[in-house]
Amino acid sequence: MSLARAESRRLIKRRFTKVLLIGLLLVLAAVFAGSWFTSEKVGPSQIAAAKAEADGYYQEALRTAATDKQQCLAAAGTPQAANWPANCDELYTPTREDYDYRWYMPATFDLREDFRNMISVFAVVLAAVAFLIGASFVGAEWNSGGMMNLLLWRPQRTRVLGTKLIVFLSWLVGVSVLLGAVWAGLFRVLAEARGTTDKMTSGVWQSFGLMGLRGLGLIVAAGALGFALASLGRHTGMALGALVALGAVQIGVYVMAGLAGFKYPDLLFTPFWIFAVLYKEWVATDYTSCDYSSVAGCRPDTFTMTWQAGSIGVAAVAVLVVAAALWTMRKRDIT
């Protein structure tokens, strides 16, 4: 218990933790401010203005079509006739449906439709911060010699590293839940003040909650991965280097799989796993299988990666790397 208390204090006292948390808050604040200033409450006056604008464009299109028809008729029997169809009645005449007034409405934040993307932004930004804080929390300890000092006090390697990891992940979950609640509250306020909360049922909120939980899983996995990679390399920079290397390998595998004729290279690319976790599925498409038919159209083969499959992939990578970090902590000499 005393070790957990010491590690909690150490984590919160670290300047890097404070700086990254402030950076995180600034990024989230910028996203929120951007949404706030680009969203506008829609009322009868905005609808009337949109309808008027749509009608204006429609009338202008009609005038242009009429002018075109006159020019077409005038060109008959002259060399200019080649620029027009033989039958000038075939020229397209715009309809009112082509100018739907909704396309001319100001941007408005629809909580039901748009908050999912905000949950994704929140999860991805927090996952990046979690990776960095996790890597630095243990990497700086190795690099500065603090880990060796700690082991002189508590010569229980697995316990020391495990306690550090548990303390960090617990803190991460706490911060994520707290910020997530604030995030949801802010966007509800935004929707009420400058957007819409139409069709918001308890089921929609439940769906947001489940998406938030999947996002939390990603954040925890990213934190654990950063922590474990830095512990394996015994340096914060090793985690970042490993991430860059893994990214390069991922792109290489993705490209090579495509060239080698693998049917769904998307399945080997972890960003799509993350997409599947957040948005419940990722549909991988084999465009080479598309056999175009004028009757049936183009219907390529697809494979749907479910959020369960994506979650298992992300969790397996995190668990494997953490297990490797704990094993090397136990086995390797500390010099």
Partner 1 sequence: MTAVLEISGLRKTYRSRKGVRNALDGFDMVVEAGQVHGFLGPNGSGKTTTLRTLLGLIKPNDGRMAILGREVPRHLPEVAREVGAIVESPQFFGNFTAEATLSLLADAGGVNRNRVYSVLDLVGLRDRAKERVKTYSLGMKQRLAVASALLKEPKLLILDEPANGLDPGGIREMRTLMRDLSDSGMTVLLSSHILGEIQLICDSVTIISAGRRVTSGSVSSVLAQHTSGAVKVRLEPGVDLMSAAQLLRAAGAQVDMAADHFTVGNASNPAQITKLLADRQIYVTELTPVAADLEDVFLELTGTAPVEGHTRQVDESALTAGQSKGGWGQ
Nearer residue to partner 1 within complex by CB, 139 or 212: 139
| CA–CA distances in Å: residue 46 to residues 37, 52, 104 | 16, 10, 9
Enumerate binding residues for partner 1 (CB under 8 A): 2-3, 5-7, 9-10, 13-15, 140-141, 144-146, 148-156, 333-335
The Cα–Cα gap between 38 and 274 comes to: 28
Q: How far is the CB of 20 from partner 1 (least distance, A)?
A: 14
Q: Which helix (H) or strand (E) holds 110?
A: strand 109-110
Nearer residue to partner 1 within complex by CB, 299 or 330: 330
**Residue 306 bridge partners (DSSP):** 281
Reference 258, options 267, 248, 249; nearest CA is 267
Q: How far is the CB of 10 from partner 1 (least distance, A)?
A: 5
Q: How far is the CB of 324 from partner 1 (least distance, A)?
A: 18
Nearer residue to partner 1 within complex by CB, 5 or 299: 5
Nearer residue to partner 1 within complex by CB, 92 or 153: 153
Q: Coil, strand or helix: which one is 333?
A: coil
Degrees, nearest 5: CA angle 140-144-145: 115
Nearer residue to partner 1 within complex by CB, 2 or 87: 2
Q: How far is the CB of 199 from partner 1 (least distance, A)?
A: 51
Q: How far is the CB of 334 from partner 1 (least distance, A)?
A: 4
| CA–CA distances in Å: residue 113 to residues 40, 108, 195 | 15, 11, 11
